C-alpha cells in the first residue's frame, strides 16, 4: 500500500514538473533521453561489416583510403586509443558527429522557420529508418554530414538579411575549414559549393561577396586541407579518384528505366512515403517561393546534389543514400510545412500539423523502429517466420540483426585453430578471407592481420604489396567465408587443397551464423582475370 502511495506521489511530482517546463525544455529532455538510448544501443550490439572495415583502417593509418578519405579512420584512431577496441571506442566519433548535426540542424531550422519545425527535424533525425538507424553507424557519413550541415549553417550566418549576419571574412574562413574537413570525410560535400555560388548570384545584395577575396581564400584553405587525399592518390596511382569518379559510375549498361524507378522505390523505403512526399513538396515550394531568402537558400544548396544523383540511376548504378545530405537540408522546409501548413495560391496543400501526415509518418516510423531494434533484444524473427511459413526453409541471413553477431566467437575459433596447427606442424598458417566485408570482420574478431584473397577492388587489395603476397607462397592458410558470402577459396586463389570446418554461433539458443573456416595447403597466389593487374603493382 505504501509503495502504491509513493508511486502515485512520484508520478504526480513528475507530472507537475513536466507541466512547468517550457516547450524548449521538454524537447531537450526528450532528446537527451533519446541520446542515452542511442548510446546504450551503440555499446550493446556488434559491428556491421562497414564499421569493421573502417575500424581496420584506423589500425593502419594512411593519408587517405581507396573507398573514402581518411577522416573516419583518424577519428577512430583517437577514440580507440582512449577507449580501446570496443564498440564505444569505434562508434563514439559517429555518435558525437550525429549529436552535433542534430544541434546545428535544430538551431538552423529555428533561424529559418520556427521551433515546431525544428522539433519535427529533430524527431525525424532521431527516429527515421535512414537517419535514425543508419546515422550512428561508424562510417564516413556522420563526420561528412556534420561538416555539410555546419557549412550550410555558417553560410546562412553570412547571407542572412538581419543584423546578426556574420562578416564576409569570418564566413568564408570558416567555410574553407569546414569544406576541407568535409572533403577529408567524403567527396560528396563538394556539391554544396556550387550551391553557395548559385545563392550569391541569385541574391543581388550578396553578389558583391564574389568580388571580395574571401570566397577564394576559403577555396584555397579547403584545397590545401585536401593535400593528404592528393598525396595518397599520387603515391598509389590514383585508385580512389578512379573508383569514385569513374569506375563506380561507368558500368551501368546504358539507359535503364527500371533501375531509375527502382531508385525512387528505394527513396520511398529510406524516407518512408509520407515523409518523402513532404521532401518533394519542400523542393517544389523552394522553387515557387525562391524570392524568399530562406526558400532560395534551400533551393540553391540542394539543387546541385539532386541534379547529380537523381538522373544518375538512368545511366549507372547508384546508392540510395547519395542524395541524403540534400534531403537533410530539405527536412527543415518539410518541418515548416508540417508546422504551418502549405498553401500554393488559393489552394491549401497541407494543413498545419496535418493529422494525415503526422499519423502517416508515425504509422511507418513506429513499426519500422520496432522491426529495427527489437531483433537485437531477442531473435524473434525466426519464430515469426516459422509461424507464418511453417514449411519454408529458414536462412539465418533473413534476420538482419544476425550480421552484427558471431565475429568474436569466430575470432576465438580461428586464433585457436591457428595455434593448434602451428603446434602440430611447426608452421603457422597465415589468416585470410574472401571479400572485404569478411576480411574486415575477421580482422575485428581475431585482432590479427587478415589477407584478402580475391581480386575485387578494396582498400585491402590496394594496400597488399605484391612482394608481401609473394612471400606467402608455399605457406598454408586459414581462409574464412560465411553463409552470406559462401565462396570456394579455390576459385579465387591457387592452393594444393582445401578442407572445410563449420562454426555455428547462437543467440539466446537460436542459430544465428554459420562460418566456413577452410584449411588450405600450399598457397601459390591470387587468381587474376586475363590482363588484370594487382592494384598494389600499379605503384
Q: Which of 49-53, 368-372, 377-381, 501-505 has the lowest mean pLDDT?
A: 368-372
265 and 162 inside one domain: yes
What's the confidence (pLDDT) of residue 351?
A: 87
Instruction: Give a yes or no: residue 432 inside a domain.
Output: yes
Determine the average pLDDT of the residues in 397-423: 95
Asked whether the predicted pLDDT for residue 136 surpasses 80, the reply is no
> Which residues make Cβ contacts (< 8 Å) with residue 409, sequence separation at least 6?
445, 503, 505
Asked whether the predicted pLDDT for residue 8 surpasses 70, the reply is no
pLDDT band at 534 (very low <50, low <70, confident <90, very high): low
pLDDT band at 31 (very low <50, low <70, confident <90, very high): confident
Out of 371, 387, 411, a domain closes at: 371
Out of 322, 353, 371, a domain closes at: 371
pLDDT band at 25 (very low <50, low <70, confident <90, very high): confident
The Cα–Cα gap between 234 and 231 comes to: 5
What's the confidence (pLDDT) of residue 12?
A: 75
For residue 498, the enclosing domain spans 403-538
Q: Residue 88 has which C-alpha cell?
A: 564505444
How does pLDDT run across 354-400, given as a tens digit for each residue? 889 999 999 999 898 888 888 988 999 999 999 899 999 999 999 99
239 and 282 inside one domain: yes
Instruction: Give a yes or no: residue 525 inside a domain.
Output: yes
357 and 408 inside one domain: no
The Cα–Cα gap between 479 and 431 comes to: 6
410 and 453 inside one domain: yes
What's the confidence (pLDDT) of residue 170?
A: 97
Find the helix or strand (DSSP H, E) in which 499 lies: strand 497-507
Determine if residue 116 is left, alpha or beta; phi over 0 gives left, psi from -120 to 50 gives alpha, anything else beta. Answer: alpha
Instruction: Give a yes or no: residue 7 inside a domain.
Output: no
What single DSSP character describes residue 395?
Answer: -
Instruction: Give a yes or no: residue 10 inside a domain.
Output: no
The domain total for the chain is 2
What's the confidence (pLDDT) of residue 318?
A: 85
Q: Residue 18 has which C-alpha cell?
A: 513536466
Instruction: Give a yes or no: residue 397 inside a domain.
Output: no
Asked whether the predicted pLDDT for residue 536 surpasses 70, the reply is no
Q: Which of 11-15, 205-209, 435-439 has the lowest mean pLDDT?
A: 11-15
The SS3 call for residue 255 is: coil
307 and 437 inside one domain: no
What's the confidence (pLDDT) of residue 252?
A: 62
Asked whether the predicted pLDDT for residue 258 surpasses 70, the reply is yes
Strand partners, 343: 348
Residue that wins the pLDDT comparison between 19 and 262: 262
Q: Which of 133-137, 186-190, 239-243, 516-520 has the lowest mean pLDDT?
A: 133-137
The Cα–Cα gap between 404 and 484 comes to: 13
Mean per-residue pLDDT of the chain: 90
* 62 and 70 Cβ atoms separated by less than 8 Å: yes
Asked whether the predicted pLDDT for residue 416 surpasses 90, the reply is yes
Q: Which of 26-35, 333-342, 487-496 has the lowest mean pLDDT?
A: 26-35
Sheet holding 451-452, edge to edge: 451-452, 430-433, 477-482, 510-521, 497-507
Asked whether the predicted pLDDT for residue 455 surpasses 90, the reply is no
* C-alpha separations of 430 from 60, 413, 485, 489, 525 in Å: 18, 14, 21, 14, 13
366 and 443 inside one domain: no
Instruction: Give a yes or no: residue 211 inside a domain.
Output: yes
Instruction: Give a yes or no: residue 381 inside a domain.
Output: no
What's the confidence (pLDDT) of residue 17?
A: 66
Round the CA-based radius of gyration of the chain to a whole number and report it. 26
Asked whether the predicted pLDDT for residue 23 surpasses 80, the reply is no
49 and 129 inside one domain: yes
Asked whether the predicted pLDDT for residue 5 surpasses 70, the reply is no
The SS3 call for residue 382 is: helix
Q: What angle do CA 88, 94, 100 make, to 5 degrees?
A: 120
Can you state the angle between helices 141-159 and 71-83, rounded to 10 degrees?
Answer: 120
The number of residues in the chain equals: 539
The Cα–Cα gap between 7 and 13 comes to: 10
50 and 189 inside one domain: yes
58 and 163 inside one domain: yes
485 and 354 inside one domain: no
Out of 320, 352, 371, a domain closes at: 371
Handedness of CA 178, 183, 189, 192 (dihedral sign): positive
Determine the average pLDDT of the residues in 325-339: 95
Asked whether the predicted pLDDT for residue 1 surpasses 60, the reply is no
* C-alpha separations of 474 from 420, 490, 494, 519 in Å: 19, 15, 10, 14
38 and 78 inside one domain: yes
190 and 52 inside one domain: yes
How does pLDDT run across 93-127, given as a tens digit for each residue? 999 999 999 999 999 999 999 999 999 999 999 88
Asked whether the predicted pLDDT for residue 216 surpasses 90, the reply is yes
* 535 and 462 Cβ atoms separated by less than 8 Å: yes
Determine the average pLDDT of the residues in 173-201: 97
Determine the average pLDDT of the residues in 466-471: 90
Asked whether the predicted pLDDT for residue 533 surpasses 70, the reply is no
What's the confidence (pLDDT) of residue 24?
A: 73
Asked whether the predicted pLDDT for residue 307 surpasses 80, the reply is yes
Instruction: Give a yes or no: residue 15 inside a domain.
Output: no
What's the confidence (pLDDT) of residue 486?
A: 85
Amino acid at each position: 500500500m505504501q509503495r502504491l502511495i509513493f508511486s502515485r506521489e512520484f508520478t504526480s511530482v513528475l507530472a507537475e514538473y513536466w507541466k512547468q517546463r517550457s516547450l524548449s525544455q521538454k524537447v531537450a529532455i526528450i532528446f537527451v533521453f533519446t541520446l542515452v538510448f542511442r548510446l546504450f544501443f551503440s555499446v550493446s550490439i556488434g559491428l556491421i561489416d562497414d564499421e569493421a572495415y573502417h575500424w581496420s583502417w584506423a589500425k593502419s593509418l594512411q593519408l587517405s583510403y581507396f573507398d573514402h578519405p581518411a577522416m573516419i579512420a583518424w577519428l577512430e584512431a583517437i577514440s580507440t586509443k582512449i577507449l580501446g577496441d570496443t564498440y564505444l571506442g569505434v562508434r563514439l566519433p559517429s555518435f558525437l558527429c550525429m549529436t552535433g548535426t542534430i544541434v546545428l540542424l535544430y538551431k538552423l531550422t529555428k533561424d529559418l522557420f520556427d521551433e515546431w519545425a525544428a522539433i519535427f527535424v529533430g524527431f525525424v533525425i532521431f527516429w527515421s529508418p535512414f537517419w535514425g538507424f543508419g546515422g550512428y553507424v561508424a562510417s564516413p557519413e556522420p563526420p561528412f554530414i556534420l561538416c555539410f550541415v555546419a557549412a550550410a549553417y555558417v553560410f546562412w550566418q553570412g547571407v542572412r538579411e538581419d543584423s546578426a549576419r556574420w562578416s564576409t571574412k569570418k564566413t568564408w574562413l570558416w567555410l574553407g575549414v569546414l569544406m576541407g574537413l568535409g572533403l577529408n570525410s567524403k567527396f560528396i560535400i563538394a556539391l554544396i559549393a556550387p550551391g553557395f555560388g548559385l545563392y550569391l548570384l541569385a541574391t543581388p545584395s550578396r553578389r558583391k561577396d564574389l568580388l571580395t577575396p574571401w570566397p577564394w581564400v576559403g577555396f584555397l584553405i579547403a584545397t590545401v586541407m585536401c593535400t593528404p587525399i592528393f598525396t595518397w592518390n599520387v603515391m598509389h596511382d590514383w585508385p580512389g579518384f578512379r573508383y569514385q569518379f569513374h569506375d563506380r559510375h561507368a558500368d551501368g549498361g546504358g539507359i535503364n528505366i527500371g533501375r531509375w524507378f527502382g531508385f525512387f522505390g528505394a527513396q520511398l523505403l529510406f524516407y518512408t512515403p509520407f515523409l518523402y512526399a513532404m521532401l518533394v513538396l519542400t523542393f517544389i515550394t523552394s522553387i515557387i517561393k525562391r524570392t524568399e531568402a530562406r526558400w532560395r537558400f534551400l533551393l540553391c544548396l540542394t539543387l546541385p546534389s539532386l541534379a547529380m544523383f537523381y538522373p544518375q540511376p538512368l545511366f549507372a548504378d547508384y546508392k540510395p543514400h547519395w542524395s541524403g545530405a540534400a534531403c537533410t537540408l530539405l527536412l527543415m522546409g518539410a518541418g515548416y510545412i508540417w508546422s504551418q501548413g502549405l498553401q500554393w495560391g488559393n489552394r491549401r496543400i497541407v494543413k498545419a500539423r496535418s493529422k494525415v501526415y503526422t499519423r502517416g509518418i508515425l504509422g511507418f516510423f513506429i513499426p519500422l523502429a520496432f522491426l529495427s531494434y527489437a531483433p537485437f533484444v531477442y531473435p524473434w524473427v525466426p519464430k515469426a517466420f516459422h509461424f507464418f511459413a511453417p514449411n519454408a526453409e529458414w536462412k539465418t541471413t533473413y534476420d538482419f540483426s544476425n550480421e552484427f553477431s558471431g565475429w568474436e566467437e569466430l575470432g576465438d575459433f580461428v586464433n585457436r585453430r591457428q595455434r593448434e596447427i602451428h603446434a602440430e606442424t611447426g608452421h603457422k598458417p597465415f589468416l585470410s578471407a574472401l571479400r572485404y566485408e569478411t576480411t574486415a570482420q575477421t580482422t575485428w574478431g581475431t585482432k590479427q592481420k587478415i589477407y584478402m584473397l580475391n581480386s575485387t577492388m578494396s582498400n585491402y587489395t590496394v594496400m597488399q604489396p605484391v612482394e608481401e603476397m609473394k612471400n606467402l607462397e608455399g605457406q598454408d592458410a586459414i581462409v574464412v567465408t560465411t553463409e552470406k558470402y559462401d565462396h570456394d577459396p579455390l576459385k579465387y586463389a591457387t592452393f594444393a587443397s582445401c578442407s572445410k570446418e563449420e562454426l555455428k554461433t547462437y543467440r539466446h539458443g537460436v542459430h544465428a551464423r554459420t562460418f566456413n573456416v577452410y584449411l588450405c595447403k600450399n598457397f601459390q597466389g591470387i587468381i587474376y582475370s586475363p590482363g588484370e593487374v594487382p592494384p598494389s603493382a600499379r605503384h
